[in-house]
Amino acid sequence: MGVYSPNIIANSLISCKTHNTDGEIVIYGDRRITWSEMTSRVFKIAQALIKLGVKKDDKVAYMFHNTPAFIEITCGIQVAGAIPTPMNYRYVSSEIEFQGKHSDAKILIYDDIWSETVEQTVKSLPTISHFICRGESRLSNVIEYEAFVASGEDKDPAVGNKLEDVAVMIYTGGTTGFPKGVMLTYIAHVEMFAILLSSVVVRTLGMDVNKERHKIMLEALPIPGKTLLGPIFRTKIFKKFINRPSTQEFFYKTFYKQFSDPDAARKGYKNAKKVMYPSMPFFHDAAFSNLFMGLLAGSFCYVLPESVRFDPPAILELIQREKVSNMSNVPTGWKKLVSYSDFHKYDVSSIRVTTTGGGACSSTLKKQIMEKFPKAMIVDVFGQTEMTPATSFRLDVDSEKLEDRSVGKSIVETKIIDNEGNEVPHGETGEILYRSKTVMKGYYKDEEKTKEVMADGWFKSGDLGYFDDNGEIRTVDRKKECINTGGEKVYPLEVEAVVETHPKVDTACVIGVPDEEWGSIIRVVVQLNMGEKMEKNEITEYCRGKLAAYKIPRSVEFIDELPFSPAGKLLRQKIRDQYGLPGESPPA
């Protein structure tokens, strides 16, 4: 690299600005931001940070929802040679204090939407030398964001970096204690993008579907000449060719070069796809990696809803107006979108790819997505932050071939082991381990925890699963979530899946509750669909015949709304804290 700049992100931005000056990178409300405008602001932010004393590999923290500011700040930090450490905008003061101190951040930039919480923490963060607020601040010593941007020169500071350097530090959810700072490198992202996209192309072209469906699927693929080559792609000879390891290797090398060399990426600049991530916050690596992918390839235009909350009519209006082609959501986001009562009033025919991740997406929900977006294929991605983050995916285009708990075939080296570390045969459940160049550099300032999850180059995921007869990974649960009751193992996700098939149930959360006789008993906390009422015994009776007797919940509680993280993950620990003691647990 280094055709335009010794800095990886500046290199890509200058290329995009030079060869696609008026191309749009962000659409946000009435604003349409070009690569030229974005690059100019990024350089100013980078120069302004350097003026404030930021040096290579320093950490800069920031708290924004999915806005143009998040994108320009991320790039500005990287162009300055520093490391972005985005914060969860739902953090309370103590969590902001922890990440601010643990990350050794020198500067904290935030939107005034979150100023009340952030500014309560200022005195607890003496190591942060400057606070910068976009909008109005309640404090006198805070720098105003636009003045900060204007103070920088519109010029690449030319701070060199390498692919092996840390590109971002993402803090995990902290469900088992304080969050951990996961250090992810530039090379890990480039590697993951190349593996993922080459696998998507090979698997899509190798699928056995009818001519019309094949033509629609081809529209989603990032390959040249697909319209002319479509008839060839459907031949039996090509199907044999596409499944050869050498074919996958060809596409891998092609995509790797595209993400590491701006001159190779230029071909895709003029055919940028409009993408949306309405329920996937950029501070989480599932969305951050997609943001990073577009910045390196120059082939995405990010269509961002203005509202912080998930707003179905606003999202659908944007799809219709902008002809969005790719949309990603966590399952809870998809659920809200497809169940929106006025969905039918909007034209969503432009959507070709619907991606889901961040939790299990049931066959029932996938069928609903297919019904609402009939021209789209579903890409169900599985992984975790420490793997940058994708490790496997499943493609679904046929509602008759859906499989619950299947996350498809792995895209990295994968094995499943028992408690003694021995690999288990297909069909037997164990812990999933990964080995790949996409694995994290480590947990920041925590060698002990890094060593706990790494074994001879293998990353211990903490996920339980098994390989099915087709070689696809079937997830069972998190290892730590397994409940032992009367000597039997019960996995919460299995019980939740059954309870959630009841027509009155929206979402269920299963936890273990201490019991003198059984060790633990199964309790389910249920969120009903709006306007529904149930007796507790209706849940247990519904489960009979659908679950083994020891898996049937012995205790049922109802809750108005189950807690989820911004990334769409059920916050099971919060339910344990509130409902985890023996006896009935009245709502707090």
* 588 band by pLDDT with thresholds 50, 70 and 90: very low
Has residue 355 been placed in a domain?
no
Is 71 among the domain residues? yes
What CATH number has the domain bearing residue 547? Answer: 3.30.300.30
pLDDT band at 587 (very low <50, low <70, confident <90, very high): very low
pLDDT (0 to 100) of residue 220: 86
What does the alpha-carbon distance between residue 328 and residue 330 come to, in Å, rounded to a whole number? 7
Asked if residue 339 belongs to a domain, the reply is no
pLDDT higher than 50, residue 447? yes
User: What's the token pair of residue 200?
Assistant: 């998507």
Instruction: Provide the total of helices (H) and of strands (E) in the chain, helices listed first.
Output: 20, 27
Domain that holds residue 560: 487-579
Q: β-pairing, 555-558 with 519-528?
A: parallel
Which of 145, 161, 184 delimits the end of a domain?
Answer: 184
Q: Is residue 145 part of a domain?
A: yes
pLDDT range class, residue 173, cuts 50, 70, 90 = low
Residues above pLDDT 90, as percent of the chain: 80
**Average pLDDT for the chain:** 93
| pLDDT for res 18 | 94
Residue 131 lies in a domain: yes
Asked if the model's pLDDT at residue 9 lies above 90, the reply is yes
pLDDT digits (tens, 9 = 90+) for 291-317: 999 999 999 999 999 999 999 999 999
Q: How far apart are CA 264 and CA 402, in angstroms?
A: 37
DSSP string, 212-263: HHHHHHHHHS--TTHHHHHHHHTSHHHHHHHTSHHHHHHHHHHHHHHHH-HH
pLDDT-derived band at 516 (thresholds 50, 70, 90) equals: confident
Interior angle at CA 502, CA 501 and CA 508, nearest 5? 75
Asked whether 100 and 78 are in contact (CB, 8 A), the reply is no
Last residue of a domain, one of 129, 158, 184: 184
pLDDT in tens, 81-107: 999 999 999 888 988 999 999 999 999
pLDDT at 271: 84
Q: Classify residue 191: in a domain, yes or no.
A: no
In CATH, what number is assigned to the domain containing residue 67? 3.40.50.12780
Give the pLDDT confidence score for residue 566 in this predicted structure. 73
Q: Residue 407 has what pLDDT?
A: 95
Question: What residues have CB less than 8 Å from 219, skipping those under 6 apart?
Answer: 226, 325, 352
Count of domains for the chain:
2
Where among 184, 204, 238 does a domain terminate?
184
